[in-house]
């Protein structure tokens, strides 16, 4: 595996692969890699000739400076994980490489219709920052496929919208959530949880499973209210638990009228904010399919 920090260098190497008609899969990350990221890399390796992973803690998507400061960083460890997984290139640029002074803004893209709920109002400016950085990284790496995890449901939906709306050639694949044995969704933020809280955090998964079962017999808003109550334990404090249409993020009243239904939640575990979701009905169209 080769590691590059400069935009011009990674562009040069990837262009040489493209000239040989090799396909490129790309996984954008902010590092602190775990099995969830490895599953994305493996999906790309299976489906493409060349796999590139970026590790870049993007300052424009953090709405709290404290969160940005505390974000775990360990490039050496990340590089070892990616090498072991069989990744070809690690792109680890500095802030100046991704945001040179001459290029400040993101693409012109109105995402209000996808950010009006859940993560949107709770993290103002977050998705604008995500769009800005993923747009830049896709322009730099110009991949055939980009891989993202289902855990960030709103994020991948917005990136899919960006790719379609801006008529970019890159296609998106979404890979399933990878969970700890107790059901906790893997996340870089889990590193900040105590052992006890990590064990108790199964409460989030359990509530999602309960919501899936309950959707057959109970009204969505009653399920949401119960989950909000159950998740408020003193240690855990839910920000939202919403059952929405998986494409529009609008609240649902009658499940029969929707093909894809997802329950999304954000829960504070002391000072750590955890997000998770579960598809309650239907199947998403963006899961990996093709083999090399
Ligand atoms: O999901 C993440 O880790 C980040 O939001 C992403 C997509 C790498 C953009 O910085």
Along the chain (292 residues), what's the average pLDDT of each consecutive run of 10 residues?
Answer: 98 98 98 97 98 97 89 95 98 96 81 97 95 97 98 98 98 97 96 96 98 97 98 98 97 96 98 96 75 51
Domain boundary among 121, 141, 175: 175
Query: 22 and 113, same structural domain?
Result: yes
Say if 180 falls within a structural domain: no
* Backbone φ/ψ region at 9: left (φ over 0), alpha (ψ -120 to 50), beta: alpha
pLDDT at 42: 98
Same domain, 238 and 166: no
Check if 54 has its Cβ closer than 6 Å to any atom of ligand 1: no
Assess whether 83 and 195 both reside in one domain. no
In angstroms, the CA 62 to CA 30 distance is 12
Identify the active-site residue in 34, 37, 113, 258: 37
- Crossing angle of helices 75-85/35-47, nearest 10°? 40
Q: Which residues contact 266 (CB under 8 A, 6 or more apart)?
A: 118, 119, 122, 238, 239, 240, 273, 274, 275
Residue 152 shares a structural domain with residue 196: no
Domain ranges, residue 146:
2-175
Q: Are 57 and 31 spatial neighbours (Cβ–Cβ below 8 Å)? A: yes
Cα(164)–Cα(91) distance, integer angstroms: 25
Q: 126-141 and 153-165 are packed helices; what angle lies between their axes, rounded to 10 degrees?
A: 50
The pLDDT value recorded for residue 104 is 66
How far away, in angstroms, is 288 Cα from ligand 1 center? Answer: 19
Angle between helices 7-19 and 126-141 (to 10 degrees): 50
Please give the order of strands across the beta sheet that includes 89-91: 2-4, 89-91, 50-55, 24-29, 145-149, 171-175
Q: Does 183 fall in a domain?
A: no
Question: Residue 134 C-alpha to ligand 1 middle, in angstroms?
Answer: 8
Structurally, the chain folds into a number of domains equal to: 2
CATH code: domain of residue 116 = 3.40.50.620
Q: Is 37 a catalytic residue?
A: yes
* CA 29 – ligand 1 centroid, Å: 5
Entry pTM: 0.95
The verdict on 123 and 76 lying in the same domain is yes
Surface-to-core class of residue 252, CB atoms within 10 Å of its CB (0-12 exposed, 13-18 middle, 19+ buried) = buried
Q: Is the CB of 58 under 6 A from ligand 1?
A: yes
- Alpha-helical segments (H) within 106-201: 112-115, 119-122, 126-141, 153-165, 195-200
- 90 in any annotated domain: yes
The response to whether residue 30 sits with its C-beta less than 6 Å from ligand 1 reads yes
Pocket test for ligand 1, best of 39, 63, 152 (most atoms within 8 A of CB): 152
**CB neighbour list of residue 72: distance below 8 Å, 6 or more residues apart:** 31, 32, 188, 191, 192
Q: Is residue 131 within 6 Å of ligand 1 at its C-beta?
A: no
């Amino acid at each position: 595996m080769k590691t590059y920090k400069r935009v011009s260098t990674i562009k040069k190497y990837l262009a040489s692969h493209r000239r040989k008609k090799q396909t490129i899969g790309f996984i954008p990350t902010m590092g602190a890699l775990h099995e969830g990221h490895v599953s994305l890399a493996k999906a790309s390796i299976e489906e493409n000739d060349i796999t590139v992973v970026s590790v870049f803690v993007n300052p424009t998507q953090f709405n709290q400076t404290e969160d940005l400061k505390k974000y775990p960083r360990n490039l050496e460890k990340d590089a070892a994980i990616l090498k072991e997984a069989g990744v070809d290139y690690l792109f680890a640029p500095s802030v100046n490489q991704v945001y040179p002074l001459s290029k400040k803004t993101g693409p012109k893209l109105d995402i209000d219709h996808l950010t009006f709920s859940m993560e949107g109002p709770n993290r103002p400016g977050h998705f604008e920052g995500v769009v800005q950085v993923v747009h830049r990284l896709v322009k730099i790496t110009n991949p055939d496929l980009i891989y993202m995890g289902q855990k960030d449901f709103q994020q991948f939906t917005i990136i899919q919208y960006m790719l379609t709306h801006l008529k970019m050639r890159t296609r998106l694949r979404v890979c399933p959530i990878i969970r700890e044995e107790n059901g906790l969704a893997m996340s870089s933020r889990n590193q900040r949880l105590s052992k006890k809280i990590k064990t108790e955090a199964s409460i989030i998964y359990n509530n999602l499973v309960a919501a899936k079962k309950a959707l057959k017999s109970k009204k969505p808003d009653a399920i949401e209210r119960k989950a909000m109550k159950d998740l408020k334990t003193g240690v855990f404090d839910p920000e939202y638990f919403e059952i929405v249409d998986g494409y529009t993020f609008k609240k649902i009243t009658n499940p029969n009228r929707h093909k894809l239904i997802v329950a999304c939640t954000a829960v504070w575990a002391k000072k750590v904010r955890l997000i998770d979701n579960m598809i309650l009905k239907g199947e998403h169209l963006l899961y990996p399919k093709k083999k090399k």
